[in-house]
Amino acid sequence: MKKAWVKIGLVLLPVILVYMLFPVDKRSRYLGLKDDCFNHGIWIYDRIHLNNKPVDVAFIGSSHTVNGINDRLIEDSLKSKDLSIVNLGYCRLGRNLSYAIIKELLKTKHPKMVVIEVMEDEDRYSHPVFPYIAETKDVFAPTLLFNRDIEADMQEAILYKLTMIQQEFFSPVAKVPVSLENFGFACSPDTASAASLLEVEKRQSFKKAELSTTERNFHMKYPRYYIREIGELCKNEKIKLCFLYLPGYGSHSPLPRENETYLKYGEVLCPPSSITKPKCNWKDEEHLNQTGAAALSKWVSGELAIKL
């Protein structure tokens, strides 16, 4: 058995050495995500690092944020306050990516406020893109408890970096021009069919089995860890932290399940039902369309005008 472990170590050692000794340009890591989330990753990197426009308010979340927060409209609505607004949403769920993006943002910008998207409940798994763009120490020394994806994240991080190194040596990618677009909002004008949303309402009417308090606390340890870390980052940098509740269509939850957790670190903003209830505001059951996004963004503008 001991000999087997020695052999495994000898095989892995060169891989680990290559991983540790060969740096990979951070922008290249974002460029490598060109086939994910409509190539939004490289725009996020460029907006943070290579676009000189400041960031006063940053919205961070999933595709709910990408589709729901019209940062250009909000900035125009708050012209008198001279604020730079940016939507840094990225497709899919995983609270650790929110943490990674905020850390990246704070390397070059100092926002007055960060607004984190929250849904009916917290996702309790790692974001698929986290190991590709997070700092090495955050991938290899994350919260260990209640983290089912730790091994997969480490493997993905190693394989991705080795691919980047190989590409650099043997088939360098042509330089991609810096994106100077200021805004990240991307949304469809389409409207979901009334029939499809009626089906959603029917599903929502069935009561789901509730976890016991013990089970819930166990499953929420992972996302709560990153929420706390985000809270600490913002507190240390004297940044106002808010949470924006963006439920799916037909939700019967007036507040997010983790509302008490969020209130430990910042205010929770809950849009009125006049925005979330009309069928004409939805592209599908999870995402607002341009009409819904305009209504939400105008409401958010009013909230920001009061709070900033």
User: Dihedral angle at the C-alpha atoms of 276, 128, 233, 301, nearest 10 degrees?
Assistant: -20
What confidence score (pLDDT) does residue 2 get? 54
* Predicted model pTM: 0.91
Whether residue 11 is predicted with pLDDT greater than 60 in this model: the reply is no
The SS3 of residue 85 is: strand
Higher pLDDT, 149 or 106: 106
The string of pLDDT tens digits covering residues 270-304 is 999 999 999 999 999 999 999 999 999 999 999 99
What percent of the chain is predicted at pLDDT more than 70?
90
Closest CA to 101 of 129, 125, 78, 124: 129
For 139-181, how does the pLDDT look when each residue is reduced to its tens digit (9 = 90+)? 887 766 667 788 888 888 888 888 888 777 766 667 889 999 9
Domains of the chain are 2-307 (3.40.50.1110)
User: Is the Cβ–Cβ distance between 59 and 65 less than 8 Å?
Assistant: yes
pLDDT in tens, 63-96: 999 999 999 999 999 999 999 999 999 999 999 9
Selection from 121, 115, 128 nearest residue 86 by Cα: 115
Question: What pLDDT is attached to residue 209?
Answer: 76
CA–CA separation, 252 and 236 (whole Å): 36
Helix, strand or coil, per DSSP, at residue 225: helix
Query: What pLDDT was estimated at residue 212?
Result: 86
Q: How far, in Å, are 132, 189, 254, 286, 287 from residue 259 at the CA level? A: 30, 31, 10, 20, 21
Encode 125-157 in three state secondary structure: CCCCCHHHHCCHHHHHCCCCCCCCCHHHHHHHH
pLDDT at 18: 56
CA distance 286 to 183: 22
Residue 202's pLDDT is 87
